[in-house]
Amino acid sequence: MALYCRIAFRGKSFCCYRLLSTYVTKTRYLFELKEDDDVCRKAQQTGAFYLFHSLAPLLQTSEHQYLVPRFSLSELERLLSKFGQNAQRIEDSVLIGCSEQHEAWFALDLGLNSSSSTHASLPKSEMETELKGSFIELRKALFQLNPVDSSLLFTAQSLLHWHDGHQFCSRSGQPTKKNMAGSKRVCPSNKIIYYPQMAPVVITLVSDGTRCLLARQSSFPKGLYSALAGFCDMGESVEEAVRREVAEEVGLELERLQYSASQHWPFPNSSLMIACHATVKPGQTEIQVNLRELEAAAWFSYAEVAAALKRKGTYIQQQNQSFPFSVPPKLAIAHQLIKEWVEKHACSSLPD
Ligand SMILES: NC(=O)C1=CN([C@@H]2O[C@H](COP(=O)(O)OP(=O)(O)OC[C@H]3O[C@@H](n4cnc5c(N)ncnc54)[C@H](O)[C@@H]3O)[C@@H](O)[C@H]2O)C=CC1
Ligand SMILES: [Mg+2]
């Protein structure tokens, strides 16, 4: 789908015959859906709905992967009526994206109670039987979702979670009202607008030139080691947050810092993960683990990390002890940082 655009210059408007790209028209359409409740309501007529129950997405089991079923508005209305609810509940849904053909995608949670509606939670197991699927905690389904589905479900779960936690105005105590798309909530009594929020988190893979530093918290799955991560403090730049987190958690001072990529991460609340590579000064590599933050941290050689990337949660021999060592799954940005480090060090690690 393409659009011709109209541009304004010195107060006059001109028709411009530049064809807007599919990406630009899709972006403009999504913007309109967020800004105009009527357009968004109309988009639901031809849209697709993803279903959740208490923040767990509805999934169907296929051979090795989960499939994510979608429902049309009429299918959803039929389902709600079967469970004794009217179609008004659909107004609790949030916009999570659209296709290149402008089919809008929404997410609706059938397990959460909304303060602004009288809709009660629908019975989970009866719904699962009816929908021929299961509501599975997103974290548990991570390994069996393709990257496109997981990104959409991350967005959906984060938005639904945010709305669930922001149903009342923190100033007036009155219920807030969401717009159709779910891109904001407004307090009707004082007009304060609340927008969905994410917390910036830095994640850093520290290297001493030949080894990289990985750490684990006691809450991590057994044997899992990851890069150092931490929430940005108020007033900090990304660079300051990276330096502080590394100093706080392992007692090291960084020399160089390089941005790699970023990722939205929904667990436990929405975070914007900002991933960096960093190096310490040669010779200044002695770790002092902050045991209030971490259970353990250690330097790992190229061979150890390269082997762990290939492995799925098995065991390695280290210092005559058998202990489990694995790295985060492919979908996590920590995995990407570790993979980049291994690829960079592959050549320099070849035997002479
Ligand atoms: N996608 C990925 O590859 C990875 C993501 N992560 C995520 O990074 C996040 C931060 O990592 P941590 O080492 O736990 O952070 P951290 O090192 O800052 O420690 C967490 C502590 O920071 C404090 N804190 C400050 N601001 C906070 C806020 N806005 N929300 C919650 N706690 C706050 C709390 O006391 C909390 O116990 C985690 O939520 C984790 O899920 C962590 C590693 C890999
Ligand atoms: Mg941390």
Taking the centre of ligand 2 as the mean of its atom positions, its distance from the CA of residue 46, in whole angstroms, is: 44
For residues 337 and 159, what is the distance between their CA atoms, to the nearest angstrom? 27
Q: Mean pLDDT across the stretch 46-71? A: 95
- What is the bridge-based pairing of β-strands 254-265 and 271-280? antiparallel
Closest CA to 143 of 1, 13, 331, 346: 331
For residues 135 and 137, what is the distance between their CA atoms, to the nearest angstrom? 7
Q: Which of 139, 150, 161, 201 gets mutated to test ligand 1 (max ligand atoms within 8 A of its CB)?
A: 201
User: Which of the ligands is closest to the CA of residue 266?
Assistant: 1
* Residues 326, 224 contacting (CB under 8 angstroms): yes
Residue 67 predicted with pLDDT over 50: yes
For residue 283, how many other CB atoms are within 10 A of its CB?
7
| Tokens representing residue 251 in the block | 């007692």
Taking the centre of ligand 1 as the mean of its atom positions, its distance from the CA of residue 236, in whole angstroms, is: 15
Taking the centre of ligand 1 as the mean of its atom positions, its distance from the CA of residue 308, in whole angstroms, is: 24
Taking the centre of ligand 1 as the mean of its atom positions, its distance from the CA of residue 230, in whole angstroms, is: 5
* Residues 69, 61 contacting (CB under 8 angstroms): no
> For residue range 105-160, what is the model confidence (pLDDT) as tens digits?
999 999 987 655 566 778 899 999 999 999 999 999 988 899 899 999 999 999 99
Q: Which atom of ligand 1 is nearest to the CA of 231?
A: 18
Q: How confident is residue 47, by pLDDT bands cut at 50, 70 and 90? A: very high
| pLDDT above 70: percentage of residues in the chain | 88
Taking the centre of ligand 2 as the mean of its atom positions, its distance from the CA of residue 227, in whole angstroms, is: 9
> For residue range 322-332, what is the model confidence (pLDDT) as tens digits?
556 899 988 99
Q: Is 27 helix (H, G, I), strand (E, B) or coil?
A: helix
Taking the centre of ligand 1 as the mean of its atom positions, its distance from the CA of residue 324, in whole angstroms, is: 23
Q: Mean pLDDT across the stretch 235-239? A: 98
Residue nearest to atom 31 of ligand 1 (CA): 231
For CA atoms 51, 52, 53, 59, the dihedral sign is positive
Q: Which atom of ligand 1 is nearest to the CA of 335?
A: 3
Residue nearest to atom 7 of ligand 1 (CA): 229
pLDDT, position 321? 47
Q: CB within 6 Å of ligand 1 — which residues?
A: 199, 201, 203, 226, 229-231, 263, 265, 267, 271, 273, 293, 328, 332-334
Q: Which of 150, 161, 206, 231 gets mutated to test ligand 1 (max ligand atoms within 8 A of its CB)?
A: 231
User: Which of the ligands is closest to the CA of residue 202?
Assistant: 1
For residues 339 and 266, what is the distance between their CA atoms, to the nearest angstrom? 22
Q: Mean pLDDT across the stretch 267-288? A: 94
The pTM score is 0.89
User: Which of the ligands is closest to the CA of residue 333?
Assistant: 1
- What is the bridge-based pairing of β-strands 228-231 and 199-207? antiparallel
What is the phi/psi pair of residue 159, to 5°?
-65, -45
pLDDT, position 41? 97
Taking the centre of ligand 1 as the mean of its atom positions, its distance from the CA of residue 271, in whole angstroms, is: 9
Taking the centre of ligand 2 as the mean of its atom positions, its distance from the CA of residue 4, in whole angstroms, is: 49
Closest CA to 110 of 98, 130, 166: 130
Q: In what order do the strands lie in the sheet with 193-194?
A: 177-178, 185-186, 193-194
> For residue range 151-207, what is the model confidence (pLDDT) as tens digits?
999 999 999 999 999 999 999 999 999 999 999 999 999 999 999 999 999 999 999
Residue 16 predicted with pLDDT over 60: no
| Tokens representing residue 26 in the block | 């899709």
Taking the centre of ligand 2 as the mean of its atom positions, its distance from the CA of residue 310, in whole angstroms, is: 25
Q: Which atom of ligand 1 is nearest to the CA of 245?
A: 17
Residue with the bigger pLDDT between 211 and 222: it is 211
Q: Which atom of ligand 1 is nearest to the CA of 332?
A: 3
For residues 200 and 237, what is the distance between their CA atoms, to the nearest angstrom? 10
Residue nearest to atom 44 of ligand 1 (CA): 334
For residues 70 and 46, what is the distance between their CA atoms, to the nearest angstrom? 12
